[in-house]
Amino acid sequence: MTALLIGLGSVAALLVLLALGLEIAYALAVVGVVGLFLIGGVPLAQGVLATAPYSSVAKFALVVLPMFILMGELVVATGMARHAYVAARAWLGRLPGGLMMTAVGASALLATTSGSSIAATVTVGRVSIAEMRRYGYDGGLAAGTVAVAGTLAALIPPSALLVFYALLSDQSISAMLLAGIGPGLLSAALFMLTAYLIGRLRPALAPRLAQPADWRERLSSLRLFAPLGTLVLVVLGGIYSGLVTATEAAAFGALVALIMLALSGRLTLPRLDEALSSSARITCMIFLIIIGGTLFARMLAFAGVPLALAEFIRGLDISPMAVVLVMMLILTVLGMFIDPIGMLMLTLPFFLPVVKQLGIDPIWFGVLVVLQAELGVITPPIGMHLFVVNKIAPDITFASIIRGSLPFMACQFLLVALVILFPPIALWVPGQLR
């Protein structure tokens, strides 16, 4: 059996293991090691195992992930999420669909300090779903809005998923983070427009507030933006100005978040322990996936699968755009069943060589990949955000949540199309650094 056939068979074996329910980190590692053994025997498998697991995670650049994750956990502990919701409600609550727009606005604000879309969904969901239902909003629509709005944290910096892609593709972390600003803001605008139209056209599903905030409350709410604005200035301002690297900005952001937690009077040992423990758990999960993905990618490289795939696609004589669309379709299907980080580890060893061969901008392609990965977390049957909001409001049926998310899900597809048709949406901001 040739190495190429072993590589292709390993891909099939991986899909079988995933279908059987094995965690993707372990599935990638097992298939990678067995494939290496079949290709080159014990010496090859042992040689890769002796170096790859350590070298894949013992990188200074990876420090940015736990730092951004810790920053997000500390922000949640400060109660700033509630402040973001109150501030957004003061300015948006008076509009048709105002509380849905408030949930989107709060998610966007929280996204500037948290790189985890699930954390953003949980935090905003706990505050907003109950309030929307109290004012007569349809339960499924309220939950669906929160589920989709949580995806903003994957685009608006600091995004753990954008950092993860940058590390896997050997791209600038700073450029990758800045590339998410345009699509992230456009996504928030599309969500808000959708919420406004629903409130305008279907007021029975999203009643307008009888007593919206007055100007005094709105102006008073501006002070609630100060902590979030400080973190944005430290992280994005530092990166954009070139004063600090993305890794340094992440560390400064975590430090500032810790200081804010102390100043808020909420710094207690249990809260600090929970933030540190949660950050460690998430980081370990990501690192395990990186190790498994590295073993799998090494096996594919020794088997010659990426090169063969690149040569095959180049021989088809189709346009690079057609190739990108096929890749997006594959990601859409995989996203229904696999978590975003696992999906990136599974597909990028195949996609990146092709992207390089075709001369496609890897930053632009990375934004598309992250968009598709986040679309997966709101797509049944394994849409993680849908399950998260269902746990927050268990009396709302899963089918109702899916129906409520559909109008906003359409915005995600529209956003992908806009970024494909108009690459400057993603590339203009990072282009200013060059």
Exposed/middle/buried for residue 198 (C-beta within 10 Å: 0-12, 13-18, 19+): buried
Average pLDDT for 208-235: 78
Model confidence pLDDT, tens digit, residues 239-277: 877 788 888 888 888 898 899 888 888 888 888 898 899
Identify whether the C-beta of residue 274 lies closer than 8 Å to the C-beta of residue 179.
Answer: no
| Whole-number pLDDT of residue 1 | 63
Among 111, 96, 125, 211, CA closest to 157:
111
Angle, CA 121 vertex, CA 117 and CA 126 arms, to 5°: 155
Question: Per-residue pLDDT tens for 290-305?
Answer: 899 889 888 988 888 8
Contacts (Cβ under 8 Å, ≥6 apart) of 379: 332, 335, 336, 409
Residues 6+ apart with CB under 8 A from 214: none
Matching residue, tokens 């950050």:
279
Question: Is the pTM for the entire model greater than 0.85?
Answer: yes
DSSP 97-132: THHHHHHHHHHHHHHTT---HHHHHHHHHHHHHHHH
Residues 121, 123, 124, 125: is their CA dihedral positive or negative? positive
Nearest to 107 by CA among 162, 151, 140: 151
User: Is 70 exceeded by the pLDDT of residue 434?
Assistant: no
pLDDT band at 87 (very low <50, low <70, confident <90, very high): confident
d(CA 270, CA 179): 36
d(CA 172, CA 287): 19
